[in-house]
């Protein structure tokens, strides 16, 4: 028998059975013919067993089990995380099955995640895909209940009354603004077949609110180089998940996890957030920073130079920003986003010194800007586009460029844009780029991954990176409304850790004429309200700070200062949306912090005639709290699982601290 443990995590492999557990869950598989057959999934807190009978089909698997194969099995394990940004308390277990080729089943279990993350690594491609090389983008896996070639999980569910909730996400946000859609079914033997594509699927007992949620660590379906016809298939009480995304020549498939939760929808959110946080743990000096970026005022690269950036830093210090980021235009090379024609969007390394500071705009290099920022207590960030040409053939040079900035001038914040993943090879090489940057900087570098266009890792394809840069919204184009951004942050937070969302607030005094006679135009909101809409995420000041009106700067900076006093407690805990989905006329908000200790409520009264709202939540576990208003207007009280909020005027908010009484 091989076994190991760390913190609450432990495993045992007897040769016939694999057992993995932590304080939240335990899982068992029978090991036979070189494959795994799930026999048990138990919620240790409630004692609920989710699997009614041992499976007759192996999962996960890429090659069908063969009883008489000549094979060798070895187990390796470690209590060291696979990346410096991962949470430190956990185990990595690898089950290597050597036959004519090698299949590795990798398991990761963390002390604070209510599930086991699994990955299949194969030295040969799956049988259902053509052997046409790893750069093939048209290969499609056709899952079937009669085939185990592409299975990830199969469950015969124990509780009879199950709700299936499928969450579909949308990226390419330059063309889309409705980003989250939910569908729901009550499972029943008469339901012959339900086929669904996506990344997030929940199975919930309607009588108890207890459930399982399946999460695939993969790009959204439209962005996967090797697509799958569907990710989830239900037939009565049996549910199967598909789509390992392995290249025809072998390699590493998409990771996936089956997470346990209680307390219905809010418990599901908390389980997902806890799990995601294990792959990018919160670090005070790196995460949850207020970042400003020059691009939001649409001057593109026309104003970027040393003198302008020194003004930006001085104004950002007054605002209370943590990071000032220079967007496209700081570099010597010209991209297609430049105000001047003739730029390029890839093949950057074909131009000598493309990624050196622009010699006319920054004749002294970036060092004076970095020093001025440091003197102001601010960090400098840069826009960067890794070269997509030839499936990111230059990934190593791109990684080295970021590491050089990190080591020589101390720049650790990068917006990663312009990514075009066209094949499985491109996806693999882009992962290599990100992993090298994170590993060799020991997790000090934060990468904001833009999801506004093209085919990119998206929300779940690269959980180890920094925040997802969600939107480009501009008053110039009549495309920014505060309630839309608040809605997207609120809706995405149902499945995605809010700290990992980079969400923007704008200078609402620009282009006011485009919003005439609009009662919820940006200019109708106060500056502190605008910041409040994104302050539970990783906030983005999408403007030239030196161009903000004095009244805007004064209003916003007061709330920024208050937020900074409490953000460590907020980000060290968890945040979930509460109330109604934002529509411009709702009562909505967030609850954050530690469910067993200090918590925070942020409640918005949008444009409506209701001066009071009752907002239920299961997040707060104590019966009584002392509520201290911190910012905004109105009052908040808590009684018997309900927040009672009173705000006299529309388009205002209340931010309050809740201490257990």
Do the beta carbons of residue 605 and residue 651 sit within 8 Å? yes
Q: Which residues contact 12 (CB under 8 A, 6 or more apart)?
A: 1, 2, 3, 18, 19
Name the packing angle between helices 550-572 and 306-319 (round to 10°).
70
User: Residue 56's pLDDT is what?
Assistant: 84
Placement of tokens 């917006």 in the chain: 415
Query: What is the rounded distance in angstroms from the CA atom of residue 110 to the CA atom of residue 114?
Result: 8
- Please give the average pLDDT of every successive group of 10 residues along the chain, which has 661 residues: 96 97 97 94 94 86 84 96 96 95 95 96 66 35 53 86 96 98 92 94 97 98 93 91 90 97 97 98 97 96 97 98 98 96 96 97 97 98 98 98 98 98 97 98 98 97 97 97 98 98 98 97 98 98 98 98 98 98 98 96 98 97 94 95 97 98 88
Q: What is the helix, strand, coil percentage profile of the chain, to 5? A: 20, 35, 45
Query: What is the rounded distance in angstroms from the CA atom of residue 340 to the CA atom of residue 125?
Result: 46
Report which of 117, 231, 119 is spatially closest to residue 167, judged by C-alpha positions.
Answer: 231
Query: What is the rounded distance in angstroms from the CA atom of residue 300 to the CA atom of residue 476?
Result: 12
Residue 503's φ and ψ, nearest 5 degrees, are: -120, 145
Alpha helices in 208-283 (DSSP H): 264-277
User: Residue 248's pLDDT is what?
Assistant: 82
User: Residue 145's pLDDT is what?
Assistant: 44
Do the beta carbons of residue 506 and residue 554 sit within 8 Å? no
User: Residue 130's pLDDT is what?
Assistant: 35
User: Residue 444's pLDDT is what?
Assistant: 98
**Listing from the earlier edge strand, what are the strands of the sheet with 194-196?**
151-156, 238-242, 232-235, 194-196
Residue 383's φ and ψ, nearest 5 degrees, are: -80, 145
By DSSP bridging, strand 238-242 and strand 323-326 are unpaired
Domain positions in the chain: 2-277, 291-565, 587-660
Cβ atoms within 10 Å of 291's Cβ, excluding its own:
25
CATH class entry, domain 291-565: alpha beta
Show the tokens assigned to 14: 């007897």
User: Residue 123's pLDDT is what?
Assistant: 82
pTM of the model: 0.95
By DSSP bridging, strand 232-235 and strand 194-196 are antiparallel
Cβ atoms within 10 Å of 592's Cβ, excluding its own:
27
**Candidate CATH numbers 3.30.310.50, 3.40.190.10, 2.40.160.20, 2.70.98.60; the one for domain 2-277:** 2.70.98.60
Segment holding 455, helix H or strand E? none
Distances (CA, A) of 455 to 67, 165, 336, 650: 41, 26, 18, 40
Query: What is the rounded distance in angstroms from the CA atom of residue 627 to the CA atom of residue 660?
Result: 9
């Amino acid at each position: 028998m091989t076994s190991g443990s760390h913190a609450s995590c432990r495993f045992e492999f007897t040769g016939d059975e694999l057992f993995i557990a932590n304080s939240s869950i335990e899982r068992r598989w029978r090991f036979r013919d070189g494959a795994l057959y799930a026999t048990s999934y138990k919620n240790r807190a409630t004692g609920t067993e989710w699997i009614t009978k041992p499976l007759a089909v192996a999962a996960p698997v890429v090659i069908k089990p063969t009883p008489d194969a000549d094979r060798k099995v070895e187990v390796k394990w470690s209590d060291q995380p696979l990346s410096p940004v991962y949470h430190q308390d956990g185990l990595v277990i690898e089950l290597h099955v050597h036959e004519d080729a090698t299949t590795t089943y990798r398991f990761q279990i963390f002390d604070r995640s209510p599930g086991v993350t699994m990955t299949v690594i194969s030295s040969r491609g799956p049988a259902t895909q053509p052997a046409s090389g790893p750069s093939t983008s048209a290969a499609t896996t056709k899952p079937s209940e009669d085939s185990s070639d592409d299975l990830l999980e199969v469950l015969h569910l124990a509780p009879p009354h199950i709700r299936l909730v499928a969450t579909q996400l949308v990226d390419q946000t330059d063309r889309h603004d409705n980003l989250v859609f939910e569908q729901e079914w009550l499972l029943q033997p008469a339901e012959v077949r339900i086929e669904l594509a996506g990344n997030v699927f929940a199975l919930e007992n309607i009588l108890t609110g207890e459930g399982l949620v399946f999460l695939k660590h993969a790009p959204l379906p439209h962005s996967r180089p090797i697509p799958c016809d569907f990710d989830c298939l239900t037939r009565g009480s049996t549910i199967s998940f598909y789509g390992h995304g392995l290249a025809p020549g072998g390699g590493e498939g998409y990771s996936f996890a089956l997470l346990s939760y209680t307390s219905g929808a809010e418990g599901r959110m908390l389980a997902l957030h806890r799990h995601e946080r294990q792959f990018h743990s919160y670090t005070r000096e790196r995460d949850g920073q207020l970042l400003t970026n020059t691009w939001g005022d649409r001057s593109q690269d026309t104003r970027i130079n040393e003198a302008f950036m020194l003004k930006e830093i001085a104004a950002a210090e007054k605002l209370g920003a943590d990071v000032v980021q220079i967007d496209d235009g700081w570099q010597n090379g010209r991209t297609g986003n430049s105000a001047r024609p003739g730029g390029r969007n890839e093949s950057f390394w074909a131009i000598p010194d493309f990624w050196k500071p622009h010699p006319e705009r920054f004749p002294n290099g970036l060092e004076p800007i970095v020093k001025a920022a440091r003197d102001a207590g601010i960090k400098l960030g840069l826009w960067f586009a890794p070269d997509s040409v030839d499936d990111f053939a230059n990934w190593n040079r791109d990684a080295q460029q970021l590491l050089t900035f990190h080591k020589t001038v101390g720049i650790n914040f990068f917006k990663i844009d312009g990514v075009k993943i066209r094949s499985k090879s491109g996806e693999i090489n882009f992962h290599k780029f990100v992993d090298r940057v994170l590993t060799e900087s020991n997790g000090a570098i934060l990468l904001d991954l833009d999801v506004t266009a093209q085919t990119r890792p998206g929300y779940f394809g690269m959980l180890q990176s920094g925040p997802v840069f969600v939107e480009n919204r501009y008053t110039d184009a009549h495309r920014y409304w505060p309630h839309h951004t608040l809605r997207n942050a609120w809706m995405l937070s149902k499945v995605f850790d809010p700290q990992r969302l980079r969400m923007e607030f704008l200078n609402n005094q620009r282009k006011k004429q485009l919003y005439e006679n609009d009662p919820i135009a940006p200019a109708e909101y106060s500056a502190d309200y605008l910041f409040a809409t994104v302050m539970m995420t990783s906030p983005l000041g999408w403007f030239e700070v030196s161009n903000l009106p004095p009244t805007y700067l004064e209003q916003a900076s007061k709330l920024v200062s208050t937020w900074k006093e409490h953000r460590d407690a907020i980000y060290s805990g968890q945040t979930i949306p509460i109330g109604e989905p934002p529509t411009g006329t709702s009562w909505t908000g967030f609850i954050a912090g530690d469910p067993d200790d200090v918590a925070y409520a942020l409640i918005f009264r949008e444009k409506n005639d209701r001066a009071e709202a009752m907002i239920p939540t299961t997040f707060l576990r104590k019966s009584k709290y002392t509520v201290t208003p911190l910012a905004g207007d109105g009052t908040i009280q808590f009684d018997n699982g309900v927040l009672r909020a009173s705000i006299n005027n529309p388009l205002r908010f209340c931010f309050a601290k809740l201490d257990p009484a």
